[in-house]
Structure 1
Amino acid sequence: MSETKVAIITAASKGMGLSCAEKLAEEGYQLAILSRSSEIHDLASKFGGIAVQGSTDNVEDLSRLVDATLETYGQIDVVVNNTGHPPKGELLELTDEQWKQGFDLALMNVIRMSRLVTPHMSGGGSIVNISTFGAKEPSLNFPISSVARTALSSFTKLFTANYASSNIRMNNVLPGFIDSYPATEETINQIPMLRQGTPDEVAELVSFLADDKSAYITGQDFLIDGGLVKSI
């Protein structure tokens, strides 16, 4: 196995996913990145990596990404599961189809990716899932996301129970309001730090959890929200 580590990053063309790709490339990882945008190929060239154009809620696209990674690099050491935003709406007006779409996007993406990559992490590895603060403090503004990401926290505990002994770790990063999306002044005033976070700040935490510096950390949820969540 090469000493250079290989990282898969999904939804990597903008926002937090792009910042994670930039950070891991800077740290010497070989990258395999996924996005629905055709821009992903230019980004891969910039990072000296490979790209697959596709969606995180499509298992065939995820499979193509994993296959391309193994064909190119022969190993997978890190996976950063970033994704888009599930549908929003009034709680009881959301349709069955919207709930299914949201769970495909924000829960099944991780479960499917885990099935694909875990057999190839024989030397250990780290899976980092970009979740949301709603996993700890559900918000009516983001109902499907809150429910799906709470389920993701549960899946992460079960994954850890099965695979920690094989040195395959899984942790969740729970961002608050990040400035890749605008927030109202009212929302910002509810954040104790009185500002939104940045994608680069999220990428710093993801980098730590991907690295061996966090080798004894698994099965955990890490809020990065400027103090927004009040629950203990």
Structure 2
Amino acid sequence: MDDQRVAIVTAAGRGIGEACARRLTEDGYAPVLLSKSGAAIDVAEDLGGVGFEGSVTDPDDLSALVEAATERYGRIDAVVNNTGHPATGDLLDIDDEAWHEGLDLVLLNAVRTARLVTPVMRENDGGAFVNVSTFSAYEPSAEFPVSSVLRAGLGAFTKLYADRHAADGIRMNAVLPGFVDSYEVDEATRERIPMGRPARTEEIADTVAYLLSPAASYVTGQNVRVDGGITDSV
């Protein structure tokens, strides 16, 4: 199995994570999947990979995931750090606990995974990470305050990591989806999107797959919007 490429995908039981797992399997990766609900186990079974029930907020679950991948396949070539959504609410009504939970969910998950996987990638001549972020990371949204603030930090981490490990042949990028069809999108929101519709999860997965592929071999440290034009900045 030494020449079998391996991809870890978190929050892979549904939505963007599942779409990424399916697309990467089509591209020849063996999928190693995690989800809090355990649905990733069924997805992995369908794809011929291995799945686990666990949370990206639990360092022990992440360690077990990486250990399982290396024990079974001996390598990790790609990581998709996908998560759920942190707390919402009025900016100053969100309590400290919700902010700390959001930190674990959308930023420290990527930091911890990078700590675990980087030595493995170094031993196998490189690899690539993609962090699934949000369009509101650089145009903060009052609808998603915790996500906006902490995923701006994720973008900074993405750049710092990419610069630090480029010489090791390891790349890290982030994708910034807009509204996606895995959640209900009301008509008022649709009218805000220049393309007039939410993204299909497969469209986000296509971008993730590109960023992990040799076709993106000179792309690192980037935050790539896949938002149908909803952000205003250039």
Shorter-normalised TM range: over 0.9
Query: Are 1:215 and 2:217 an aligned pair?
Result: yes
**Contact 2:31/2:44 (CA < 8 Å) preserved in 1?**
yes
**Contact 1:52/1:64 (CA < 8 Å) preserved in 2?**
no
Question: In the alignment, what sits opposite 2:129?
Answer: 127
User: Per the alignment, in what secondary structure is the counterpart of residue 121 of structure 1?
Assistant: helix
User: Per the alignment, in what secondary structure is the counterpart of residue 189 of structure 2?
Assistant: helix
Deviation by residue 1:64-109 (Cα, 9 ceiling, x = unmatched):
0000000000000000000000000000000000000011100000
Pick one of 142, 146, 149 that aligns with 2:148. 146
Pick one of 155, 158, 161 that aligns with 2:157. 155
**Residue type of the partner of 2:26?**
E
**Contact 2:38/2:52 (CA < 8 Å) preserved in 1?**
no
CA–CA separation in structure 1 for the residues paired with 2:211 and 2:153: 20
CA–CA separation in structure 2 for the residues paired with 1:4 and 1:64: 20
1:14-163 matched pairs, under 5 angstroms: 14-122=14-122, 123-163=125-165
CA–CA separation in structure 2 for the residues paired with 1:96 and 1:64: 29
Question: In the alignment, what sits opposite 1:191?
Answer: 193
CA–CA separation in structure 2 for the residues paired with 1:39 and 1:154: 31
Considering only aligned residues, what root-mean-square deviation do their CA atoms show, in Å? 0.9
Q: Which runs of 5+ in 1 are unaligned?
A: none
Question: In the alignment, what sits opposite 1:178?
Answer: 180
Deviation by residue 1:97-123 (Cα, 9 ceiling, x = unmatched):
000001110000000000000011021
CA–CA separation in structure 2 for the residues paired with 1:159 and 1:200: 27
1:32 Cα deviation from its structure 2 partner: 0.4
1:27 Cα deviation from its structure 2 partner: 1.3
Identity between Structure 1 and Structure 2 (%): 49
1:28 Cα deviation from its structure 2 partner: 1.2
Runs of 4+ residues over 3 Å off in structure 1: none
1:39 Cα deviation from its structure 2 partner: 2.6
**Residue type of the partner of 2:149?**
V
**Residue type of the partner of 2:49?**
G
